[in-house]
Amino acid sequence: MKIDLPDPSLVVLIGASGSGKSSFGRAHFLPTEVISSDFCRGLVSDDQNDQAATQDAFDVLRFIAGRRLAQPRFTVIDATNVQRESRKPLVELARQHDLLPVAIVLDLPESVCQARNRDRSDRDFGPHVIRNQSAQLRKSIKGLQREGFRRVFVLRTEEEVAEAEVTRSSLWSDRSLERGPFDLIGDVHGCHAELVELLGDLGYEVAADGFTVTPPEGRRAVFVGDFVDRGPATPAVLRLVMAMVRAGTALAVPGNHDVKLVRKLGGRDVRIAHGLAETLAQLAAEPPAFVEEVREFLHGLVSHLILDGGDLLVAHAGMKEQYQGRSSPRVRDFALYGETTGEIDEFGLPVRLPWADSYRGRRAVVYGHTPVPTPTWVNNTIDIDTGCVFGGRLTALRWPERELVSVAARETYYEPVKPLLPAEPEGPAIEDRPPFVLDLADVAGKRIIETRLTHSVTIREEQSTAAIEVMSRFAMDPRWLVYLPPTMAPTATSSRPDRLEHPDEAFADYAGSGVETVVCEEKHMGSRAIVVVCRDGDVAQERFGVDTGETGAVYTRTGRPFFDDPQRNEAILAKVRAAAESAGLFDELETGWLVLDCELLPWSAKAGDLIRSQYAAVGAAGQAGLAATSSILEQALARGLEVGPLLERTVERAGHVDRYRDAYRRYVWPVAGLEDLRLAPFHVLAAESGVFADRDHAWHLDRCDRLVAADPDWLRRTERRFVQLADPAAVAEAVAWWEAMTAAGGEGMVVKPLSFTVRDDRGSLRQPGIKCRGGEYLRIIYGPEYLAASQIERLRSRNLGRKRGLALREFALGIEALERFVRREPLYRVHECAFAVLALESEAVDPRL
């Protein structure tokens, strides 16, 4: 006997004790595919025959089976299963996971079972047990199909068992071996003329008979169903579709209308509504054989198809991820009708659940069913029903090109119940669209994120937990957060007596990685600012999905908006936009938007609170404390006490405090308005034409310079030196430049390899930049007296490893976020990366680094 089993499915072995179920299982399945009740009894009670443990054992069995089916994995249950009540939970389990239950019955003569049991020392039950089981089994066989087993195989003799040939077939819906390219065509509804025109536009030749179609070389059509009803020429459409499918030039899934027609043709009592009457009238003019052919064709269609190596799924009303690659009545229902809330809207139509909004699958889903004005990708799904029969358009999606091709309806064949387009296109319709929503599950818990630049990055649960709070309380709309900047590691610690950091170590680091040229960029002492700027509100809406009228965003390294006031925000954006226009950046980069990496000055504009409450406070306390100490010591000295050296040290320290105050005061200037701010761009991160991580820093700085030239008063140039590391004179010049800059109060510089990304000879990503901070600036970080011999020696042993690791991972994540955005991946995929940068920043690292 040939036993062909769907894979995946739940196979239930049925047979009395001693009927050979376990042997059968061993012969035909992997040991891990078979879950036996005896084994589970052993798990819970250490005794495979402990009948008292039966209930617990079955709980374990169902649990294991459930976890396997959830994956889904092919699973076999080895238990007697002779009673209906023991099979019922298994059928339910399969249903719950939307897989087919299959029964294999070992209906061997009772004598065989009795004989086998007598030979087994561990079976000490009497012969009546097997007698009862055999009787129960016989009673069951006839009803197995009715119980829900989709296929039932019965083996009655030892020979049959021995000769049984077990094979497995993938589910009907799994057609992943069918490779594209495809042309996916939306709901036709009897619009034959439009279909012919659309096929023509797609390069298919339709013969004069109206149904013989020759596709362009290598292409095939895929119909998303609803061929029938409402339109003027349902039979012609069916004739064409059937001919194409038969010829192997098309694939098709059924629509709800098609299924209803099948039921009607099969003699079922269905309500004649929603255009079915037109179809029946048109079919009445056709020969009965054609009508029967139609019925058979539509009846034979599989509710959804997985195509192209598993990358593409086609179903009439879509398919949520949980149901894909599975088979059950509710999967079929979903494919035909989608998911509804059970409520009815104001037009009397069922309220649909927005499954696509929460779709997180990697497989693209193409569907129809619900007419939309314009097909839009939502989380890797697209509805291509553009309501041809209602006077809209008939649309095709070219796959894998993802291009849309459509033709206009020649007339409105059927009045829609609900207007296809919102009544007032510019009115409240836009605002009424539900806002874009991300799932907590998109960011919560432990996460592993694949990045293009480096291997996967792991985010621990406590990191994501911390970031959820910060992201939701302070960050701006995630649609703008297409990037968060990485932290930057300082250079390896200098061994010079009066230095903690010096360019030499940064140069040596890159030279050691094989870098020939580096660029030293002035480090502005301000606040990191990411500027996302769109050419206009339309770009903001089309590309970022933001319809509030904002034309971009300016945000901090943790995603907080810089300006609470929307007008101020727009004013900044207007300045940047004007500079970008005048520099020709939008045109050059073929884009309507830019992401710029910048520093916003002064530091006090954003960090005023920090400066006041931390740095100024240290200065105030220090000054007051040391003044008091000095005067006390002077008094003591006057009394002749031995406090001379103490007094000297105190006076010297007072000098440190003064320098400390000077250090922060350099970065403070009053900001009354926009004109007092300065923006210093240093990276042009991304635009429509790509992520510019593949351009070197000369390219970036050149474009930034052009921006600055367009508005030199408000935008600030980033000074730089390009240095050939092999040229000692160039290196010395760069060090001198750094010395001069930092002596004058500058924060320091960032040393970057000329290329935006650099790998060492083993292929590992290297630091994208290393900061070398000036001695006076470090006073703010390490304290007024950090250069004192007693302190600096110990400060030198600082551990950079963690910081460097973080910097690399965050860099990779930031670029990944941009890559995903540029590739128009769903928002949740972009947000995942930006969020991960923030989550990593919760890592405890010495914040002075």
Partner 1 sequence: MHPPEPAAEARRSDTPRATSAGGIVDRLLLTLTLTGPGATDLGYLLHKHPDRVQEFSLPFGKAQVFYPEAEPERCTAALMLEIDPVGLVRRGAGGGFALAEYVNDRPYVASSFLAVGIVSVFKSALAGNCKPRPELAATALPFEVEVPVVPARGGADLVRRLLEPLGYAVDATPIPLDPQYPEWGNSRYVALKLAGTVRLAELLSHLYVLLPVLDDEKHYWVDDTEIEKLMRRGEGWLPDHPERELIVKRYLKHQASLYAPATAQLQALDAEGADDDAVDESTADGVEAAEANLEGSVLLRDQRLDAVEAAVKASGARRVLDLGCGPGALLRRLIRGGYESVVGVDVSIRALELAARRLKLDLLPDEQRARITLLHGALTYRDERLAGYDAAVLQEVIEHLDEPRLAVAEQNVFGTARPGTVIVTTPNAEYNVMWPSLPAGAFRHRDHRFEWTREEFQAWGARVCERHGYRVDYRPIGPLDETVGSPTQMAVFTR
| 3-state secondary structure (DSSP) of residue 139 | helix
Write down the least CB distance from residue 604 to partner 1, Å.
9
Q: Which one of 785, 810, 819, 825 is in contact with partner 1 (CB under 8 A)?
A: 785
Nearest to 382 by CA among 395, 7, 834, 696: 395
Write down the least CB distance from residue 176 to partner 1, Å.
29
Q: How many residues bind partner 1 (CB under 8 A)?
A: 91
Q: Binding to partner 1 (CB under 8 A): which residues in 558-587?
A: 558, 560-561
Q: Please state the φ and ψ torsions of residue 737, each to the nearest 5 degrees.
A: -60, -45
Alpha carbon 445 to chain centroid, angstroms: 15
Q: Which residues of 244-282 are buried (b: 16+ CB within 10 A; e: fewer)?
A: bbeeebbbbbbbbbbbbbbebbeeeeeeeeebbebbbeb
Write down the least CB distance from residue 744 to partner 1, Å.
19
Candidate ranges 34-42, 219-227, 370-378, 605-613; the one touching partner 1 (CB under 8 A) = 605-613
Q: Which one of 593, 615, 777, 811 is in contact with partner 1 (CB under 8 A)?
A: 615
Q: Which one of 318, 784, 814, 826 is in contact with partner 1 (CB under 8 A)?
A: 784
Question: In the structure encoding, which two tokens stand for residue 705, read together?
Answer: 């310079």
Residue 435 burial (CB < 10 Å; 0-12/13-18/19+)? exposed
Distances in Å between the Cα of 697 and the Cα atoms of 521, 737, 747, 750, 804 are 10, 19, 20, 12, 21
Write down the least CB distance from residue 633 to partner 1, Å.
7
Bridge partner list, 13: 78, 104
Q: Binding to partner 1 (CB under 8 A): which residues in 721-780?
A: 779-780
Bridge partner list, 5: 168
Question: In the structure encoding, which two tokens stand for residue 123, read together?
Answer: 């079976």
Tell me the residue type at 628: A
* Distance separating alpha carbons of residues 748 and 774, to the nearest angstrom: 5
Write down the least CB distance from residue 783 to partner 1, Å.
2
Write down the least CB distance from residue 357 to partner 1, Å.
8
Tell me the residue type at 275: G
Write down the least CB distance from residue 642 to partner 1, Å.
5
* Distance separating alpha carbons of residues 482 and 475, to the nearest angstrom: 12
Candidate ranges 10-18, 211-219, 330-338, 551-559; the one touching partner 1 (CB under 8 A) = 551-559
Is 476 a binding residue for partner 1 by CB under 8 A? The answer is yes
Is 512 a binding residue for partner 1 by CB under 8 A? The answer is no
Write down the least CB distance from residue 846 to partner 1, Å.
7
Is 600 a binding residue for partner 1 by CB under 8 A? The answer is no
Q: Measured from the CB atom, is 612 or 759 closer to partner 1?
A: 612
Tokens 């290329």 belong to residue: 755
Q: Measured from the CB atom, is 595 or 837 closer to partner 1?
A: 837
Q: Measured from the CB atom, is 295 or 460 closer to partner 1?
A: 460
Write down the least CB distance from residue 534 to partner 1, Å.
16
Q: Which one of 23, 376, 472, 689 is in contact with partner 1 (CB under 8 A)?
A: 472
Q: Measured from the CB atom, is 556 or 755 closer to partner 1?
A: 556
Residue window 450-469: x/- pattern of binding to partner 1, with contact defined by CB under 8 A:
------------xx-xxxxx
* Terminal alpha carbon distance of the chain: 73
Q: Measured from the CB atom, is 258 or 442 closer to partner 1?
A: 442
Q: Measured from the CB atom, is 437 or 736 closer to partner 1?
A: 437
Q: Which one of 338, 783, 814, 826 is in contact with partner 1 (CB under 8 A)?
A: 783
Q: Measured from the CB atom, is 281 or 632 closer to partner 1?
A: 632
Which helix (DSSP H) or strand (DSSP E) does residue 379 occupy? none
Q: Binding to partner 1 (CB under 8 A): which residues in 394-413?
A: none
The DSSP-derived string for 496-556 is: STT-S--HHHHHHHHHHTT--EEEEEEE-SSEEEEEEEESSHHHHHHHH---SS--EEEE-
| 3-state secondary structure (DSSP) of residue 705 | helix
Q: Measured from the CB atom, is 91 or 471 closer to partner 1?
A: 471
HSE-up (13 A, CA, CB side) for residue 454: 25
Question: In the structure encoding, which two tokens stand for residue 616, read together?
Answer: 């100024």
Q: Measured from the CB atom, is 21 or 656 closer to partner 1?
A: 656
Is 613 a binding residue for partner 1 by CB under 8 A? The answer is yes
Q: Measured from the CB atom, is 785 or 819 closer to partner 1?
A: 785
Radius of gyration of the CA atoms of the chain, in A: 36
Q: Which one of 44, 470, 651, 674 is in contact with partner 1 (CB under 8 A)?
A: 470
Residue window 250-279: x/- pattern of binding to partner 1, with contact defined by CB under 8 A:
------------------------------
Q: Which one of 123, 557, 568, 717 is in contact with partner 1 (CB under 8 A)?
A: 557
Q: Measured from the CB atom, is 218 or 434 closer to partner 1?
A: 434
Q: Measured from the CB atom, is 296 or 462 closer to partner 1?
A: 462
Candidate ranges 21-29, 173-181, 266-274, 609-617; the one touching partner 1 (CB under 8 A) = 609-617
The H-assigned helical ranges of 164-233 are 192-201
Q: Which residues of 291-300 are buried (b: 16+ CB within 10 A; e: fewer)?
A: beebbebbee
Order the strands of the 690-691 sheet from edge to edge.
552-555, 527-534, 593-601, 678-687, 690-691
758 neighbors 725 (Cβ within 8 angstroms): no
Is 379 a binding residue for partner 1 by CB under 8 A? The answer is no
Length in residues, the chain: 849
Write down the least CB distance from residue 587 to partner 1, Å.
31
Distances in Å between the Cα of 13 and the Cα atoms of 70, 75, 101, 107, 378 are 20, 11, 11, 11, 43
Q: Measured from the CB atom, is 230 or 829 closer to partner 1?
A: 829
Distances in Å between the Cα of 11 and the Cα atoms of 8, 103, 159, 450 are 9, 6, 21, 36
Write down the least CB distance from residue 393 to partner 1, Å.
29
Q: Measured from the CB atom, is 477 or 739 closer to partner 1?
A: 477
Q: Binding to partner 1 (CB under 8 A): which residues in 335-364?
A: 358
Q: Binding to partner 1 (CB under 8 A): which residues in 616-675?
A: 616-622, 624-629, 632-633, 635-636, 639, 641-643, 646, 650, 653, 657, 661, 665, 668
Q: Measured from the CB atom, is 54 or 96 closer to partner 1?
A: 96
Write down the least CB distance from residue 512 to partner 1, Å.
28
824 neighbors 593 (Cβ within 8 angstroms): no
91 neighbors 148 (Cβ within 8 angstroms): yes
CB atoms under 10 Å from CB of 64, counted, come to 16
Q: Binding to partner 1 (CB under 8 A): which residues in 415-444?
A: 432, 434-444
Is 847 a binding residue for partner 1 by CB under 8 A? The answer is yes
Candidate ranges 172-180, 257-265, 400-408, 604-612; the one touching partner 1 (CB under 8 A) = 604-612
Residue 805 burial (CB < 10 Å; 0-12/13-18/19+)? middle
Q: Binding to partner 1 (CB under 8 A): which residues in 786-815?
A: 786, 788, 790-791, 794-795
Tell me the residue type at 92: E
Residue 186 burial (CB < 10 Å; 0-12/13-18/19+)? buried
Q: Measured from the CB atom, is 229 or 843 closer to partner 1?
A: 843
Q: Measured from the CB atom, is 211 or 835 closer to partner 1?
A: 835
Question: In the structure encoding, which two tokens stand for residue 193, read together?
Answer: 């003329």
Residue window 167-196: x/- pattern of binding to partner 1, with contact defined by CB under 8 A:
------------------------------
> CA geometry: angle at 118 spanning 117 and 121, to 5°?
85
Q: Which one of 474, 587, 648, 652 is in contact with partner 1 (CB under 8 A)?
A: 474
CB atoms under 10 Å from CB of 143, counted, come to 12
Is 610 a binding residue for partner 1 by CB under 8 A? The answer is yes
